[in-house]
Each structure stands twice: as C-alpha cells, then as structure tokens.
Amino acid sequence: MVHAALFLVALLFGANYVVAKLALREITPLDLVVIRTAGTAALLFAAGAIRPRSAPRQAFSARDFRDILLYSLLGVSINQLAFLEGLARSTATNASVMLVSIPVLTLAFAVLLRRERPSKTGVAGVIVGLAGALLLILPRGGPDVTARAATGNLLLLFGGSSYALYLVLTRPILARHDPLRVISWVFLFAALTVFPFGASGIWRLAASDVSTTAWVSTAFVVIGGTALPYLLNNWALARVKSSIVAVYILLQPIVAGTLGRIFLHEQFGSHTAVAAVLIVAGVLLSGSRRA
C-alpha cells in the first residue's frame, strides 16, 4: 500500500509539470504559489472536517506549532518559491537535474542527523536511479551554465535541499499526530507566509482576463498536483523511512517526459527506455531496505 501510494504521488507530481506550464502562461510563479498554498490548505482542512474520526485526536502543543511553522517554510514556502523562481531563470533541463538530487540530499540529511543508517542497497539504489534520471533529462549539449542559469540553478538546489530536510524532519510528528492534520496546518502556515509577497499580484490577477484553460490547470495544480500527493507523501512518511519516500522522486522525470512526448509529440527514443529501467531498478533497490 505504501509503495502504491508513493507511485501515485510520482504520477501526480510528474503530470503537474506539464499541466502547470499551461497555468504559467497567464499566471506568474509567485501568484501560482499563493493560490496553490491557500487552495490546498482549504481543501485539506475540509477533508479533515468531513472525515469520520476513529479515536480522539491529540492536541498540538506549543512546540508542535513551532515545528509545523518550520516544516511549512522548508517543505512548502521556501521549496515552491525557490523552485518556481529558479525555473524562471534557468531551464527545464537544469530543474530536472536538481530534482533528482533530492533523494541523495534526503539520505545525506537523514544520516547527518542520525535519523537513518546508510545501507549498501540504499546507496546503490540512489546511484542507479540517479544515473537513469540523468540519462533521460540531459541533452547532448549538456545543461545551460550561463550566468542567469547559474543563479536559477542555485535557487533550484536551495529549494531541493529545503524539501529534502523537510522529508527528514517531519517523520517524528507524523508518527505522533494525524498526517492530515499536520499537512493541513503546514499549508495554512505556508499560505500565510507567502501571501504578503504575492498579495498585490493576486489583486491584479483577479481583475485580469484569465482563460478557462489557465484556471482549470490551476485547479489541477492545487488538487491533483499538491493536496492529494502531499497527503499521500505524509501518510507514507509515517510508515517508512524518509529516504524511501524521496527515492520515488526519481520516477517523476519519467512521467513528465512521457506525458511531454504524448502531448508535445516528442520522440520516445531507446535512451528513454534504458533510463526507465535504471530508475525502476533504483527504486526497487532502495525499497528493498527494511522500513
């Protein structure tokens, strides 16, 4: 069940790259982050309100709220702002390179903070999966290393590191509290922290003529690309090691690349098939460790 949930997360996040491009044609990255965080928080709190409770829930302590604020900054606010702003300055290729570094960063943080012990199969799985992802996303000419792209790459790496640390730090609170309540408050705090930076853009957006396609794409970003996968990710984090959750990120370039080829009529070459085999092998190797 855990691996099925993580696979669905990879599908949703992978599709989100293609759909979000439609929204970003008319909506700025910062505006999209504001809508994404606020919309997701509202959906998650609504889901928590209508869900039947099997047992009395434990109240958050003052320390829990302090920790949740930190998690909201690491896993949502900083991660999403850095990623979208970095993507605007860099290229999709460079963004993909930074994306597949998240499992490595997660394992490094987990070991550094003594949350996990390194294992041969875990390290081998990350290496094999990373090799497959790089084979898929790197073009013949290599990544762009211009000055503007270098700034974007730094932002992308910073955002990826922030999300990796979030994956490691949230395991304890998810083991003590309902994951739905935790992630709901994470997104509420994130919405409050990003709104001051994008408030003026939201007012301009409300007065502008945005197409139905852009709004439908934005709705998918909030529901299918954020609320559902974040909830499944946190449900999985309460049951397996954080580095196992992170390694499924390696599947996202395969999903995004496949959908790009379907909807953008790109060729599906033999190198893509080889990359897919390597990434699946990496996931299986890492998942073979005992949670």
Q: pLDDT of 86-134, one tens digit each? A: 777 766 656 665 676 777 777 778 878 878 777 777 778 778 777 776 6
Give Cβ neighbours of residue 246 (< 8 Å, ≥ 6 apart): 102, 103, 106, 107, 164, 167
Q: Per mean pLDDT, which of 91-95, 136-140, 186-190 is the most reliable?
A: 186-190
Assess whether pLDDT exceeds 50 at residue 245: yes
More confident of the two residues 117 and 173: 173
For 137, half-sphere exposure in the C-beta direction (CA atoms, 13 angstrom radius) is 27
Q: Is the pLDDT of residue 56 over 60?
A: yes
Q: What is the pLDDT of residue 291?
A: 44
Residue closest to 90 by CA, chosen among 161, 171, 11, 151: 151
- Residue 87: name the closest of 99, 77, 76 by CA: 99
Domain boundaries, the chain: 2-48+59-287
State yes or no: pLDDT of 40 exceeds 90: yes
Highest mean pLDDT among 54-58, 215-219, 245-249, 260-264: 215-219
